[in-house]
Amino acid sequence: MPEVQEVQGVQQPTLVAENLKVTDLGPKPPPTTMPSLNLGDTFPNFTADTTEGQITFHDWLGDKWGILFSHPRDYTPVCTTELGRVTQLVPEFTKRNVKMIALSCDDVESHKGWCKDVTDFAGVKGDMPYPIIADPSRDLSVKFGMLDPDEKDEGGMPLTCRAVFIIGPDKKLKLAILYPATTGRNFDEILRVIDSLQLTAYKKVATPVDWKKGDRCMVIPSLSDDEANALFKGGFEKKEVPSGKGYLRFTADPSD
């Protein structure tokens, strides 16, 4: 029975906390907030089950570049077109020394069954050419901030969004993009970004808007004009602007 406490002449019931029990209301949905994972951070290592067996991420990546991309669910239309497109682009990723790995909240058996639909849609013969991580517990999805609170399964648990992480051979995060479930990714654009990341990792240039491999690049601001002339064959072109500041300096793609 609750104790009775008198306040200003009025008797009011007060519940005694130690006599109460907390009822288990079932599993709580995982948090959906983005952890602190910044560009330049070492991408966390992890062990996971995949369609190609258990992997440890850093060992699997080795000395290559990597792209980890999540999708909301197996046997769904947009996801099938996306993974099908990546399957078609495997030769382009391989040419760039990039390994691919996908992830969703479905289990391994679901992934394996769905892979047949993906390769059939893509018109590619043989097995799926890259692994898919199973994350039914959402442990990795929470760790990497890949959950979409607006997309839920039948049990009310959030599904993975369309995340893209590009990781360098040094295991550092080079790029991160999050897309909602309703927007399919453009993997030709992701190849373009990889070209830029790989070029600018080794050459003292930046790539301007809409840049594609072979286009002119920009001299980085930390190089003086004399240093740029010495470094780049053919020198550079400076674009004059009203401010008079000579910061728009174009040079040929140094990878050519």
Give Cα separations from 192 to 32, 92, 167, 203 (angstroms). Answer: 30, 11, 15, 16
Give the three-class secondary structure for 218. Answer: strand
Rounded distance, CA 238 to CA 228, Å?
Answer: 11
Catalytic residue among 170, 188, 215, 225: 170
In CATH terms, the fold of domain 47-199 is Glutaredoxin (3.40.30)
pLDDT of residue 154: 67
Residues of the chain with CATH 3.40.30.10: 47-199
Catalytic residue among 74, 79, 115, 195: 79
- Residue 189 CB partners (closer than 8 Å, separation 6+): none
Q: Which residue, among 92, 162, 183, 74, has the nearest Cα to 129 in the 3D structure?
A: 92
Q: Which residue, among 217, 209, 210, has the nearest Cα to 233 in the 3D structure?
A: 217
Q: Is domain 203-251 given the CATH code 3.30.1020.10 in the classification?
A: yes
Give Cα separations from 223 to 65, 109, 228, 237, 246 (angstroms). Answer: 27, 53, 6, 14, 12
Amino acid at 172: K
What is the residue-level pLDDT of the chain in tens, covering all 256 positions?
444 444 444 444 443 334 433 334 444 444 444 456 899 999 999 999 999 999 999 999 999 999 999 998 899 999 999 999 999 999 999 999 999 999 988 999 999 999 999 999 999 999 999 999 999 988 898 889 887 777 766 677 767 789 999 999 999 999 999 998 889 999 999 999 999 999 999 999 999 999 999 999 999 999 999 999 999 988 999 999 999 999 999 999 998 6
117 is catalytic: no
pLDDT tens string 171-189: 999 999 999 888 999 999 9
Amino acid at 229: N
Rounded distance, CA 39 to CA 223, Å?
Answer: 23
pLDDT of residue 151: 72
Give the three-class secondary structure for 197. Answer: helix
224 burial type by CB count under 10 A (0-12 exposed, 13-18 middle, 19+ buried): exposed
Residues of the chain with CATH 3.30.1020.10: 203-251
79 is catalytic: yes
